[in-house]
Amino acid sequence: MSSILDQDIKYLAGVGPRRKDILSKELGVETFGDLLQYYPYKYVDRSKIYTINEMTGEMPFVQIRGRILSFEEFDTGRRKKRVVAHVTDGTGIIDLVWFSYAKQITSNYKVHTDYIIFGKPTVFNQRYQIAHPEIEKADEVRLSEMGMQPYYVTTEKMKRAGITSAAIGKLMKTLLAQLKTPLPETLPPFIVNPHFLVSRDTAFRHIHFPKTADEMSHARQRLKFEELFYVQLNIVRYASDHRRKYRGYIFQHVGELFNKFYSEYLPFPLTGAQKRVIREIRKDMGSGRQMNRLLQGDVGSGKTLVALMTMLLSLDNGYQACIMAPTEILAEQHLATLREFLKDMPVRVELLTGIVKGKRRQAVLEGLQDGSVQILVGTHAIIEDPVVFRRLGFVVVDEQHRFGVAQRAKLWSKSENPPHVLVMTATPIPRTLAMTLYGDLDVSVIDELPPGRKPVVTIHKYDSQTTSLYQGIRQQINEGRQVYIVFPLIKESEKMDLKNLEEGFEALRMAFPEFRLSKVHGKMKAADKEIEMQKFVKGETQILVATTVIEVGVNVPNASVMVILDAQRFGLSQLHQLRGRVGRGADQSFCILVSKPQLSAESKKRIDIMCDTNDGFQIAEADLKLRGPGDLEGTAQSGEAFDLKIADIARDGQLIQMARDEAQKIIDDDPTCQKSEYQMLWRRLGELRKTNINWAAIS
């Protein structure tokens, strides 16, 4: 039966080559199976008839049974007519309006005939009217069979070719009528029965033409679960294979470097969360299997310190370590931080990025080969072929979402056994997304700020309130603090935004003549940017006016105020990252979100969330719900990779957990995929892997 779903869509009655071309280009629908998985985005209950006197103008849709009393035609311009039909059902009168096709309307529909009429009601001249309604002869309609009418998303190109939502519904009916025998199952009874899932065949029929909301809900549950289950089965199997195949270096020795750093150089006592994470990492590294761990923690939670202490463990056991960052600025920041932490300890830390050239580059490459470079900090330049380590045992990947899986795998080839991998992110990832994006990684979380840190107070102001804003800034600087003022720089309108930044900078200089200001944006030369940044870091300037270029990699504990202008133009995770630039010292810090008074409901919600909480995970959950996984900062590529047709990572957390648990049970029972009772699942997974889902990106 699966063969019928593989048939070319052009062979379905009502499609043909021209429509196939449009369906393929606009929706990616090539086969019967593709069409079956093009799900409705909403449903309207067509089983209920309203009377005209029950109607209100607020109803999104209404269905009535009425008789056409008469037609009227009005000239609306050159050879154009508006047609109005007056209809009654005995309880009142409603007008049906068409703004074109006058001849067709008056010849298709007859007076003194009963029709079922469906559409969106509005009020015009104190009378209800429906523009361009759907109309069918009353004696040809069986209401009991109408149920919930599906609505499908269509594009302008499709509509011009006559492929409307109703036309897709018709094609779907034709297709389902052709499936004479039930579709074969893709989940075994031991999964379907305990979760009370309907059969696959029932799910497909009821998702397109449910008679009741209940039928629709059960169909969605089944199809969502199946989609998520196979994604999770793939991830869990990949992780299990990886653990079985790759032995890890065993780091059992806690030696001189680690102990010396811990007892003499630790800048502040470790938090409980940092200690817990180091214990989890040590357990992995002593287990004999390769560590693949994701370390999540808000900006300023002390992830880099944990990474450094783990690197020292690697060095104590005779291996080199490296840290890979997504940008040169961040790599340089890591280098400065590590050298600051290590001070005069006998550890050679070097940088390898695009700007390290000539003799300096050669010296780094030779030091890696002979083992004298113990810690390497760099960008993706690290994975290039000329880079050869003597004994690479541990790799830290910062902000993993900027690196593909292939790049991570390339790092493994730099070593005899794959090195232990610690992936760090300051973008808190909701659990449901982490289970899918990073399903092959164990997760550690630093959910505690270092001692003495006070939560940043976030305040929302309108751009008309500059007097009180400037007063607050002045007061903070007079108390010895420094201030960031961030302008948006969004690519589409870069010229306009840069002009805003330049003009804004001049206006701020005039507003604060008594203070010194620095200015930084992405269009500046790296050297100029560095000079301006350093002035601010050293306290020579009190205000840093910048674009989001400062989102990553600036650490100025004395800066206590972050002002974000046009805050409504930023996403939640970006606002949270910017806010993380302050609150790094012991002083109370503030984040001021400045916006226009006219805010969209979504912008207002974002700003309210920022004012209500400092918890990065709560913010990430909210961001996921507002924007979906494909839009989250840095996860767009991964979000697209899932190509989920019906499940929603943001809203189906419980189902993801359910699917994950089932997948884990199966892998625990059959790690090598040999048992006969699971063959249906492995076959189906094989079929799915041939589809256009980028399975590599998922694992």
- pLDDT computed for residue 549 by the predictor: 66
Nearest to 333 by CA among 495, 483, 549: 549
- pLDDT computed for residue 435 by the predictor: 72
Q: What is the DSSP string of 493-552?
A: GHHHHHHHHHHHHHHHHHH-TTS-EEEE-TTS-HHHHHHHHHHHHTTS-SEEEE-GGGSS
| Alpha-carbon radius of gyration of the chain | 31
Name the residue with tokens 């957990």.
Answer: 657
Residue 445: Cβ-neighbour burial (10 angstroms; 0-12, 13-18, 19+): buried
Q: Who has greater pLDDT, 451 or 636?
A: 451
Q: What is the pLDDT of residues 166-177, one digit of tens each?
A: 899 999 999 999
Mean pLDDT of 582-594: 88
Q: Over pLDDT 70: what percentage of the chain?
A: 91
Round to the nearest angstrom and report the end-to-end CA distance of the chain.
Answer: 31
Query: Is the model's pLDDT at 307 over the cut of 80?
Result: yes
Q: What is the pLDDT of residues 568-582, one digit of tens each?
A: 988 887 898 889 888
Question: Per DSSP, which regions of 499-638 are E strands?
Answer: 517-520, 543-546, 559-564, 590-595
Q: What is the pLDDT of residues 489-516, one digit of tens each?
A: 644 455 555 557 788 889 999 999 999 9
At 434, the pLDDT band (50, 70, 90 cuts) reads: confident
Query: Is the model's pLDDT at 552 over the cut of 70?
Result: no
The average confidence (pLDDT) of the chain is 86
- pLDDT computed for residue 658 by the predictor: 92
Structure tokens at 548: 């989001």
Length of the chain: 699
- pLDDT computed for residue 623 by the predictor: 79
Nearest to 591 by CA among 451, 460, 466: 460
Q: What is the pTM of this model?
A: 0.68
DSSP 3-state of 377: strand
Enter the DSSP assignment of 125.
T
Query: Is the model's pLDDT at 518 over the cut of 50?
Result: yes
Which residues, other chains included, contact 399 with Cβ-Cβ below 8 Å and sequence gap of 6+? Answer: 325, 326, 330, 424, 425, 426, 427, 552, 634
Lowest-confidence pick of 309-318, 475-484, 508-517, 541-550: 541-550
- pLDDT computed for residue 263 by the predictor: 95
At 68, the pLDDT band (50, 70, 90 cuts) reads: very high
Distance CA 334, CA 363 (A): 20
- pLDDT computed for residue 636 by the predictor: 35
Lowest-confidence pick of 283-292, 299-308, 351-360, 551-560: 551-560
% helix / strand / coil in the chain, to the nearest 5? 45, 20, 35
- pLDDT computed for residue 554 by the predictor: 64
- pLDDT computed for residue 631 by the predictor: 47
Mean pLDDT of 93-118: 88
Name the residue with tokens 């280009």.
Answer: 25
- Are 311 and 321 contacting, i.e. CB atoms less than 8 angstroms apart? yes
Count of C-beta atoms within a 10 Å radius of residue 415:
19
Count of C-beta atoms within a 10 Å radius of residue 576:
29
At 270, the pLDDT band (50, 70, 90 cuts) reads: very high
- Are 200 and 222 contacting, i.e. CB atoms less than 8 angstroms apart? yes
Q: What is the pLDDT of residues 191-228, one digit of tens each?
A: 999 999 999 999 999 999 998 889 999 999 999 999 99
Mean pLDDT of 458-480: 93
Distance CA 590, CA 593 (A): 10
Count of C-beta atoms within a 10 Å radius of residue 85:
25
Three-class HEC string of 456-479: CEEEEEECCCHHHHHHHHHHHHHC
Name the residue with tokens 């991964």.
Answer: 638
Q: What is the pLDDT of residues 119-151, one digit of tens each?
A: 889 988 888 999 989 888 888 877 766 778 899
DSSP 3-state of 682: helix
| Maximum average pLDDT range among 240-249, 277-286, 539-548, 577-586 | 277-286
DSSP 3-state of 8: strand
Residue 44: Cβ-neighbour burial (10 angstroms; 0-12, 13-18, 19+): middle
At 525, the pLDDT band (50, 70, 90 cuts) reads: confident
